[in-house]
Structure 1
């Protein structure tokens, strides 16, 4: 720290005050209704945004819904837009380490100082709406709704050329759906959040399709028939332009490469050859395809090809922290945020496809309200052994209960119960290095939730996103 002793003291005091204020703000937001408990209304958020001058209409929006792949697709879309010279605002959830990761300006999470300032700017209007609704069924804004308002305010204030907006949960009643997407992307749909979205693909697809707009262009991932039927019916009802994976866009070819995969992608306007994507798993190739098509649709309605060299450059720097990410070597430790059977299926396929470990030891901590049996069944064929544990979330299933369920799927001799995540990772590392693997190194895969992935990253010293 440079400057006079007085200047240094003032700077230290200001930094201390910012940390105190940041904790205060985060605690105030967390005190509201949690993000996983949605209320089917957009009215609260609309009321606040109206008072703020409709910041959600300050820039065009690329809106992304789906069960799996939303965050990766959003990050890839942002990277492409930045590579093409546009300024961006990106809103994603949940976060791995810091709440500020959810609001991103041109590739960089907002600073804590800017986060606090954004909260201070919008909270008088939020409190006004809360007071107005206190005696009604609407009630106060939730944790997630406050963050959505803050994000739109930040993006309008920046300002940005385009907003990349990830749905939190569902679509129709998600707080992000106050915005009308110029492009609306639906990633693959699976069973998740049954309590809120329904227990079958058709019901869930109906909620996800709620983001589609009459004037927007829809980009639709390959879907199971039940989901595809509902989405197609909604598109026909709206009469909007749509691009379907498998009909209008596709992964033409995919070859493994050092550190990732080499892709040839059929976009809306042309084939983009030899795109090196430094991410693992076939599912990431399909996420990249959706991002490419979304940007084509946004910039030229899908009629004009993007500059191939710029696309290649953007693909070369794409990242997706916490998604099949290598965070340590010797032994190799990967973290993945898979938290439902579809995500676990993609993880298992990627492990078979992209890695050659002599043995794989899984570490799992999962939320109690998830389809734990379904996740375990998808991962059992690829994990030689499983260490079950818990993360710090109060929603997390106990290690003992998870061990009981895992024992029924894996067999008790392949399951190890370790109460705390740090010890669980150490145990798994020892197991990965033990046993006869023909001289081929073993690997550790930590999975089960975004929180688990985030905490595992921090434990091995990785915090950048």
Structure 2
């Protein structure tokens, strides 16, 4: 039994030693012991390579504006571990984490004595979320973000009202496959019998795989640019504006507070999925709640403007597709500014294409490392860059503080890469903001 929050986190993170073990049998065994809490939930399941967290945020914000209590299970966290299990955007308390660990701990020990083996860190956290929303704090709707892949992800024991697949990219290829189609098959594994699926996947081969899986499961499917479309797009000073055409009717001049043209795709997925559920009388959403929810939606670490004077942006672009969206947004919005990029990444990622794209948009690029077992060394990242203005730094904290302090009006500092790095950066800058030039937005 654990008695403190630190003990609880130490035990959870200690499960990292077990690595990643795709499969559902350990989850099913734990849920059986807990009285199958996952069967008590009204849920939406969100998978894909990029955009999952943003789509969860749009869904949550619209549902909240419609008067629902909404639980979310997301990963990783940006500022606090507890964020992974939240209600209406508020992370659960330290005390609740301790209580949940004391429920799951004996089940993990019991599994370790079987041929299934002990649950991984992610399986433990997923089990905590199921138990929390099923028994401790029931809510109207729970939004579950897939951790890795989909078919064998530990969240995939739920029977959701709808499944959402954002896009497909070549990420986690050592586990999910080396082609878009192989990865799409894993992502499409969240599609359930007779359960609608909504997707923004554009790669033709990937989309066909998803359509085939939907057909096999007798699941209706709505596809961006086929069944619904984005029209009249324009970037706003602090967000995006677009109109949405679908069989549910046209919604004109929708506004987002989140920056990046790609966010209109994530928002469209959320809107159409909820409109479908409304049509099926599973929920009730109005045009006004859609507008209010989209405008209010906020997701940390996704092209997040930490400060406007000086201009400091935080973006968790941690794979090729994410970097492409970042570069597109920077090129569109800040072509007249000097762009300084600070980048850190995990060494098991395919980094050459990511860095090549950043090289093209950066007037200066600095590579750093951070305290994480899989973090790439700054020196190794520098070697992959062909920029004439590159630098490698080991002490990123001191470096960032100095860079923020000397940043000029015509410059923009973009801190990007691994979400684990982004998490450390945001916590550090928030702590040091009072003694530095940066004024973090709250």
TM-score, normalised relative to structure 1: 0.88
- Alignment check: 8 A CA contact 2:314 2:415 kept: yes
Is structure 2 residue 202 aligned with structure 1 residue 219? Answer: no
Tell me the CA shift for residue 464 of structure 1.
9.3
Tell me the CA shift for residue 272 of structure 1.
1.6
> What is the alpha-carbon distance in structure 1 between the residues aligned to residue 399 and residue 207 of structure 2?
40
Is structure 2 residue 67 aligned with structure 1 residue 92? Answer: no
The one-character-per-residue Cα deviations of 1:380-421 (angstroms, maximum 9, x if unpaired) are 221111011012212110111111112xx32xx310111122
The residue that corresponds to 2:389 in the other structure is 414
Tell me the CA shift for residue 301 of structure 1.
3.5
The one-character-per-residue Cα deviations of 1:255-284 (angstroms, maximum 9, x if unpaired) are 122311122122451222222201111111
The residue that corresponds to 2:430 in the other structure is 461
Which of 155, 162, 165 aligns to 1:186? It is: 165
The residue that corresponds to 2:61 in the other structure is 79
> What is the alpha-carbon distance in structure 2 between the residues aligned to residue 274 and residue 34 of structure 1?
49
Number of residue-to-residue matches in the alignment: 432
> What is the alpha-carbon distance in structure 2 between the residues aligned to residue 461 and residue 158 of structure 1?
30
The one-character-per-residue Cα deviations of 1:346-377 (angstroms, maximum 9, x if unpaired) are 00111122335520000001000011101112
> What is the alpha-carbon distance in structure 1 between the residues aligned to residue 193 and residue 362 of structure 2?
45
Is structure 2 residue 223 aligned with structure 1 residue 244? Answer: yes
The residue that corresponds to 1:117 in the other structure is 99
Which of 83, 87, 112 aligns to 1:105? It is: 87
Structure 1 stretch displaced more, 451-460 or 190-199: 451-460
> What is the alpha-carbon distance in structure 2 between the residues aligned to residue 262 and residue 34 of structure 1?
45
TM-score, normalised relative to structure 2: 0.93
The residue that corresponds to 2:5 in the other structure is 22
Which structure's CA Rg is the greater one?
A: 1
The residue that corresponds to 1:50 in the other structure is 32
Which of 400, 418, 435 aligns to 2:379? It is: 400
Matches within 5 A, 1:154-303: 154-156=132-134, 157-301=136-280
Which of 304, 311, 323 aligns to 1:325? It is: 304
- Alignment check: 8 A CA contact 2:277 2:283 kept: no
Which of 337, 340, 347 aligns to 1:358? It is: 337
> What is the alpha-carbon distance in structure 2 between the residues aligned to residue 52 and residue 374 of structure 1?
45
Tell me the CA shift for residue 86 of structure 1.
1.3
Structure 1 spans left out of the alignment, 5+ residues: 1-17, 434-439
- Alignment check: 8 A CA contact 2:340 2:363 kept: yes
> What is the alpha-carbon distance in structure 1 between the residues aligned to residue 203 and residue 353 of structure 2?
17
Structure 2 spans left out of the alignment, 5+ residues: 432-439
